[in-house]
Structure 1
Amino acid sequence: MATAKKKIHYAWWTLVALCIIVGLAKGALNSSAGLFIPGATQELDILTGNLTLYFSISSIVTMIFLPIGGKILAKYDIRSVLIVAIILQAGSFVAFGFSNSVWGWYIFSIPLAVGGVFTTVIVGPVLVNQWFKKKNGMALGIMGAAGGLLGAIAQPIVGHTIANDGWRAGYISLGIAIIIIVVPTVLLLVRKSPQAIGLKPYGADTASAVGSDGAKEELDKGITLAIARKSSAFYSLFLFFLLITSIASFAIHIPSYIQSRGYDVSFAGNAMGAYMIGVLLGALVLGFLVDKIGSRNTVYLAMVLAIIAVLALLLATDSKMVITLATGLFGFTVSNSVGTLAPALTTSLFGSREYSQIYSTASLGLAIAGIIALPAYGYVFDFTGSYTPVLYVILVLLILNIILVTFAFRGKKKLLTQGHWN
């Protein structure tokens, strides 16, 4: 019996699989996309703004396909869905490597987005919720940090591959490598649910014992969507989502910015490795700070650190070390503001009563920003020959975010005074 108790629960093997699948899909594929832009635009004589429109197409497809993807994942075998999804997503990178016009990116951004809906958005929360009734927050944090770690490893490799063998070889080799790694991982480690292999979720007994009526009532407290949508707190949150995603979208252009300052793609890949390390550390540190000092104070700190990062990118472009550190700090603060701080702010402002409805509605700001900001930054570079105007705009947006969060919590205070929190 003692030996049985020490056996590792299969939930942790599921988490290992998710770290590999989601980590590679986000950290290696999605986060490396910017490294290919300068080489592809130069060789094919394509405007940066025109090429980066494929990110907007991808964002639109993601918005449309998300509700469909949820139904597919619930209806069909999860392993089959994930295998098809990674082939669509990583296979699109292979197709990019054979593209000779901007239409190649536009067309294959569709399967890229469809596959990414499963590998980068849905599967992580779904499987963690199925397998972990205890420590599920920690599991999500580990999964997020894994994306940063795998991205930190992959980015320099991709950068060196592009520098030595060209952007086409980079696209093709990366896409094939991801498929080769992820497909066996899915087959070996992923199971539909604990019940499918005769287990209970990790911590199920403890979770059920703790879950009293009082705890449920506490979890259900908050503000309804109908009330929230009429409040200044909601519109401040919506605009925060819009602006922080617009700021985070610049990460795709960082490799192009670095190369526009006279550095090669190999160094840009190394800098993006530092960016992913920042994402890794930020996922852990900012989540910890939210619990310790609250979401509002954590956002203030993150925005100030992000301002420092942007100023360093603007003013210290002659130092590789400063550029690398600034890029890492940008990943630490801004990228995790989207994945960690935005959901935490929603909970702090409106509670858990109708969290999913409020968060999904406010998240339209995330989608709109992704559609607009990415090509807009590219066109600014095309028409001015510099990303400097973009960085000054980002500084303004960061300051506005501090103001918006302040207004959001003032709006919450009004809602509390009016007795809407119940």
Structure 2
Amino acid sequence: MNQQQKKKIHYAWILLIALSIMVGVGKNGISTAGGLFLTPVTQDLGIGMGSLTLYFSIASIVTMIFLPIAGKLMAKYDIRLILIVSIILMAGSFAMFGFMSSVWGWYLFSIPMAIGSIFITQMAGPVLINNWFKKHNGLAIGIMVAIGGVLGAVIQPLVANLIATQGWRFTYIALGIGVTAIIIPIVLLVIRMAPQQKGLQPLGMEEAGASQNASAQQETLTGIAASVAKKSSAFFSLLAFFFIITSIASFAQHIAPFAMGIGYDIKFAGSALGAMQIGVLIGALSFGVLSDKIGAKSTAVFAMLLGLVPVGIFLTVPENPTLFTVAIGIFGFVISSLGTLGPLLTTALFGTKDYSQIYSTAAIGLALAGIVALPGYGFIKDITGSYTFVLYGLAGMFIINAVLVLLAFKGKKKLEKAGLWK
């Protein structure tokens, strides 16, 4: 009987697959796909790229305001109710873009879309994985991002083809309805906040007896208290890291306009975004395994320095379609570190004691980046006529981020020396 139980697949793995599909479809069907609409919408409605991308900025402001509330709501209410309401807000608002004829429509509906997106694409993954996995945490996060990469490799070219053949209005509406229809059944049938709701212990916890479980849980929840962490240099370095890596990753929304601006068509842009998602897939698996083997610090520094390679290709030979596609793939590999290394760096720096509070506060850096970077890139393109200055900025940000990782771990050592890790 005991051996049968050991052979049985832990529910954590089933939840992980469902969670990965939910996050992957939400991100690629709504968030990432948004970039493919920018050029068709601006051309059709006569809107400037900077003006349209301001809706990303509004969404980021809403995210920044709502993130601290989101953590409390997840702790207080049924996760399934929260996620169902969230996907209706997120995908429903996205579908409404298909009916808009003025830029104000994007500004208005970006607000509920952002609120829903917080739970679907940002909070649910790290929080649920942290609850369900006390072992193989890095691998679980890597798998989640990797499955998102597989889904993205399929979804991005499909969206580009739909826009090319059916128009951007139809595609907005079809995506909104399709994403909702996929995610709601997943949430209802599989997603649960904690293993205890299924009568289980987290994966990696000893199951020899109640007292051992309590003891193991106590040992697992160690780290820096949120009140202390938020005042530390390590936290501010992490916050800045989140801001910069999100600013870098935000360029993904501009890849389609960048590609089309140098002569490629929307179908090629969609294929390039598909290549980016394959890079995300490989990066997610690599970073998860690397973090478990050599640590989050070394992995993060490696990722940031590798990011200089695609930027160099974009600056020197962007007109070569093969090299352009390779560069996009490497870029996807590197930006997968946002989904993989963000949560892992938080755990490595501050432990699991107050993880959700620390992560949700540090994630404000993600929102701040969206406020500045997404419309910023659009306005730079409108003013200069190209993305050249943006690319030089990306190169500088990769270097700064590598330094920030080192500073964050230096700050962690100070906290440990002060005896604040408990």
Provide the TM-score with structure 2 as the length reference.
Answer: 0.88
| Cα pair 2:133 2:202 within 8 Å, conserved | yes
Structure 1 counterpart SS, 2:32: helix
| 8 Å Cα contact 1:24/1:178 also seen in 2 | yes
**Secondary structure in structure 1 of the residue aligned to 2:187:** helix
8 Å CA contact 2:205–2:217 kept in 1: the answer is no
> What is the rounded CA distance, in whole Å, between the counterparts of 1:4 and 1:207 in structure 2?
11
- CA gap of 1:129–1:342, structure 2 versus 1, over 3 A, is closer
1:254-312 deviation digits (Å, cap 9, x = unpaired): 11111111101111001101111111221111121122222232122111210001111
Deviates most, 341-350 or 290-299: 341-350
- 1:134-145 alignment, distance < 5 Å: 134-145=135-146
Q: Is the 8 A contact 1:134 1:207 kept in 2?
A: no
Q: Distance in 1 between matches of 2:6 and 2:231?
A: 49
For residue 196 of structure 1, report the CA deviation from its aligned partner.
Answer: 4.9
- The answer to whether structure 1 residue 297 and structure 2 residue 308 are counterparts is no
The Cα shift of 1:344 comes to 3.2
Verify: 1:336 aligned to 2:336, yes or no: yes
Partner of 1:373: 373
2:144 alignment partner, SS class: helix
1:11-35 deviation digits (Å, cap 9, x = unpaired): 4433332222111001222111100
Matched residues in 1 for 2:369 and 2:327: separation? 23
Measure, in 2, the Cα distance between the counterparts of 1:230 and 1:3.
47
Distance 1:25 1:156 in 2: 16
Q: Residues of 1 paired with 2:204 and 2:132: CA distance?
A: 9
Q: Report 1:6-25 matches (<5 A).
A: 8-25=9-26
User: 2:14 & 2:214 partners in 1: Cα distance?
Assistant: 30
Alignment of 1:11-50 (within 5 A): 11-50=12-51
Q: Give the aligned partner of residue 226 of structure 1.
A: 228
3-state SS of paired residue (2:33): helix
Rounded to whole Å, the distance in 1 between the matches of 2:189 and 2:111 is 28
Residues of 2 paired with 1:190 and 1:58: CA distance?
26
1:277–1:328 Cα contact (<8 Å) kept: yes
**1:313 Cα offset (Å):** 1.4
Deviates more, 1:238-247 or 1:204-213: 204-213
Please tell me the residue identity of whatever aligns with 1:268.
Answer: A
Which ranges of structure 2 fall in alignment gaps of 5 or more residues? Answer: none
Q: Which residue of 2 aligns with 1:178?
A: 179
Contact 2:126 2:141 survives alignment (8 Å): yes
Return 23-32 or 410-419, whichever deviates more: 410-419
Mapped contact 1:133–1:201 kept (Cα < 8 A): no
Q: 2 CA distance for matches of 1:76 and 1:236?
A: 32
Question: Aligned equivalents of 1:8 and 1:236: distance in 2?
Answer: 39
Q: 1:160 to 1:214 in 2, by over 3 A?
A: closer
CA distance in 2, matches of 1:3, 1:208: 15
- The whole-number CA distance in structure 2 between the counterparts of 1:207 and 1:167 is 53
Distance 1:148-1:76 versus aligned 2 partners, 3 A rule: same
In 2, Cα distance between equivalents of 1:75 and 1:415: 31
1:11, 1:201 within 8 Å by CA — same for their partners in 2?
no
| Higher deviation after alignment, 80-89 or 353-362 | 353-362
C-alpha distance in 1, partners of 2:150/2:314?
A: 23
CA offsets 1:130-166 (integer angstroms, 9 cap, x no match): 5555545543332222111111110010011112222
Corresponding residue for residue 289 of structure 2:
288
Distance verdict in 2 for CA 1:148–1:96, change over 3 Å: same
Change (3 A) 1:69 1:296: closer
State the distance in 2 between where 1:227 and 1:116 align.
26
Q: Residue 87 and residue 312 in structure 1: after superposition, are their counterparts in 2 closer, same or farther (change >3 A)? A: same
1:210-221 equivalence runs, <5 A? 216=218, 220-221=222-223
Contact preservation (8 Å) 1:11, 1:131: yes
Using a 3 Å threshold, how does the CA distance of structure 1 residues 9 and 347 change in structure 2: closer, same or farther?
closer
The one-letter amino acid paired with 2:239 is F
Cα-to-partner distance string for 1:345-367 (whole Å, 9 max, x where unaligned): 34444455555554444433322
Q: Deviations over 1:364-386 (max 9, x none)?
A: 33221121111111100111110
RMSD between aligned residues:
3.0
Q: 2: CA distance between counterparts of 1:129 and 1:346?
A: 11
Show CA shifts across 1:375-421 (max 9, x none): 11110011111011100111111122223333444444555566655
Aligned residue runs from structure 1 range 19-418, under 5 A: 19-129=20-130, 131-132=132-133, 134-190=135-191, 196=197, 199-201=199-201, 203=203, 206=206, 216=218, 220-222=222-224, 225-226=227-228, 229=231, 231=233, 233-333=234-334, 335-352=335-352, 355-413=355-413
Q: Give 1:208 deviation, angstroms.
A: 6.8
Deviation for aligned residue 1:114? 1.9
Residue 110 of structure 1 aligns to which amino acid in structure 2? I
Query: For the Cα contact (< 8 Å) 1:148–1:279, is it kept in 2?
Result: yes
> TM-score scaled to structure 1, two decimals?
0.88
> Given that residues 134 and 220 in structure 2 are in contact (C-alpha distance below 8 angstroms), is that contact kept between their aligned partners in structure 1?
no
Aligned-partner Cα distance in 1 for 2:69–2:216: 35
Once residues 47 and 72 of structure 2 are traced to their aligned partners in structure 1, the CA distance between those partners, rounded to angstroms, is 38
Instruction: Report the count of equivalent residues.
Output: 419
Note closer, same or farther for the CA distance 1:63–1:312 as it changes in structure 2 (3 Å cut).
same
Matched-pair contact (CA < 8 Å) for 1:247–1:394: yes
Measure how far apart 1:110 and its partner are: 1.4
More deviation in 358-367 or 129-138? Answer: 129-138
* Aligned-residue offset at 1:325: 1.2
The Cα offsets for residues 27-77 of structure 1, whole Å up to 9 and x where unpaired, read as: 222111100000001111111111111111112222333344445445555
**Deviation digits for residues 80-100 of structure 1, max 9, x if unmatched?**
443332222112221111110
